[in-house]
Structure 1
Amino acid sequence: MTVELRHLRCFLAIAEEANITRAAAVLHVGQPALSRTLRQLEEHLGVRLVDRSTHHLRLTEAGHAFRTRAAAAVAAVDDALDPARVGTWPLRLGHAWAALGDRTTTLLRRWRETHPDTPLELLRITDPTSGLAAGKTDVAVVRGRTDGPGAPLTTEPRLAAVPTGGDLAERSTLELADLVDQVVTLNPPTGTTTMALWPAAARPSRTLVVANTDDWLAAIAAGRGVGVTTTAVAGIHAYPGVTYVPLTDAPPVPVHLVWTDPPRHPAIPALLALAREVLAG
């Protein structure tokens, strides 16, 4: 049997909906046909991708691994067949938040000057790989620990983000211990702050979990909590009601440019070189 693009789309719909009936409705196909397509794909791969033995459909371990590859393959085909991209090959740069901080505009303008035939598209995608794993981006700015191909760009000092007008906002510097009695606002999908940042014996006991950077900023501005971030956020996200104060005892955050193996775009080395030049400047 030859695997076609429809097999991948069917599997991805099932993975997204976690339900055969809903996936069939999304794809406008019959449920028996969808189940048959999934079975054909599993037979071709020689593994079970979906566990259908429970009341709630779930992906197997192989299914989770294959989902990433299938999403990247479908995204690559869709990108190649996009009429709007005919004649150009944009370089898609992903980031979850802040990109390169206050150097972002410089990077975009310098790239346009030096590579006019290769548009650089900056895409904010809230997931740990900034769209790289799903095939939505070609290269990504990732903070913290990374796996796979990539190169270091810089490190960013950490700051406390506190409500303007409060006692903490009046301080010239802060330490992690100053935040222990506060509600610490966390952004688990992509944030670099966890309770492991504090010593085990002196960690904040109250947290507020949000879904993205916008919600994180709004919560702090409203006085619902405090946060820990990097200088990049302060450089690009000046926000009414939020004051950034240096944290003197928090380790800096490493920033990497990461890509896939093999790379999806030939201009990635040029982007790496320019990003390092812009940050050094």
Structure 2
Amino acid sequence: MNVELRYLRALVAVVDSQTFTDAAIALGTSQAAISRSVAALERALGLRILQRTTRNVTPTPAGERIIEHARRVLDEVALLERAAQDHSGELRVSYAWSALGRRTVALQRKWEELHPAVRLIWVQSNAPTGGLANGGVDIAVVRRPLTDNRFATTMIGTEARYGALAKGDPLARRRFLRLSDFAGRTIAVDHRTGITTEDLWLGMDGPASVRLVQGVDEWLTLISTGQAVGMSSEATAAQNPRPGITYRPVRDAPPISVFLASWKDDPSVLVADFTRLAREAFIPDQPEL
């Protein structure tokens, strides 16, 4: 029997994401590669792990037990990788759309002063856990708390919401926006890692339609070409300028909570120091809404 770690990672990603397509996005590979890995695992074990239909993917009774064991194996491997990283001279920090916006450079400089021998490496990840689950990073910047009980989330501050518009949009001439300005428009939304949902407009007229995107690049392209408007954090506006796009603050939108996520059982001093510095970066200038 030949069971490889990539088979287990593919299986768990499919179960967590509910689709082979989303699992491929989470692991940064192709849907075909995910399908091959799951099929190879089923052949190696000699049993069916997943039931596939046109609408969803569900584990078989035997698959439930296999998935539980697969998670344990991957957790142990992640612990092993993190133990090695503690002595590798680097701290890997992931983010989905933006790191900490305009605060990122100042935090980087403070980190270099405090830990000159430890490189701070920023990694972009579209995985729901920011790459924590597969051991690819030590800590993740997330803008909604993770529901996976293996991880702890610490709130470090809040950010204002900004609307994103094509430069030719009439709203782009305004100094600021309100939620009501999005009524009747098409809004671009990333349900995987984005922080804007239709719930923002509960009890009021909201966008007429939603265009689903996968990641910030697709979001920016859709908006710059005038096919949709968008809403994201001030960090997105700071770190993702693009010709053809105007960002404007949305004054009556609730602020966005910013969290750092890490493994609950991680005693790393580096993770603790980064968390402290990131929290301090938000202290002087919390946004006023």
**Deviations for 1:207-263, whole angstroms, at most 9, x for unmatched residues?**
111100011011100101000111111111111111111111110000011211101
Secondary structure of the residue aligned to 2:154 is strand
Amino acid at match of 2:45: S
Q: Percent identity?
A: 32
Q: Which residue of 2 aligns with 1:135?
A: 135
Alignment partner of 1:114 is 2:114: yes
1:213 paired to 2:216: yes
Q: For the aligned residues, what is the CA RMSD?
A: 3.4
Q: Which moved more, 1:131-140 or 1:243-252?
A: 131-140
SS at match of 2:184: coil
Q: Where does 1:1-281 land on structure 2 (aligned, <5 Å)? A: 6=3, 8-13=5-10, 22-23=36-37, 34-36=44-46, 50-51=49-50, 58-59=58-59, 60-61=63-64, 67-77=70-80, 88-147=88-147, 148-263=151-266, 265-281=268-284
The Cα of 1:134 is off from its aligned counterpart by 2.5
Structure 1 pair 53/35, CA: closer, same or farther in 2 (3 Å)? farther
Mark the CA change 1:272 to 1:239 in structure 2 (over 3 Å): closer, same or farther: same
TM-score (structure 2 length as normaliser): 0.76
Unaligned runs of 5+ in 1: 40-48
Query: Partners in 2 of 1:133 and 1:165 — Cα distance?
Result: 42
Range 143-152 or range 117-126, more displaced: 143-152
Q: Which amino acid aligns with 1:50?
A: I
Structure 2 CA distance for aligned equivalents of residues 231 and 184 of structure 1: 17
Q: Pick closer, same or farther for the CA change 1:57–1:155 going to 2, 3 Å.
A: closer
- The alignment partner of 1:228 has SS state of strand
Describe the shift of the 1:15–1:145 C-alpha distance in structure 2 as closer, same or farther (beyond 3 A). Answer: closer
Distance 2:86 2:249 in 1: 47
Residue identity matched to 1:271: F
- Following superposition, the deviation at residue 118 of structure 1 comes to 2.1
> TM-score, normalised to structure 1's length?
0.78
Unaligned stretches of 5+ residues in structure 2: 15-19, 21-31, 285-289
Q: Residue type matched to 1:23 in 2?
A: S
Determine helix, strand or coil for the equivalent of 1:263: coil
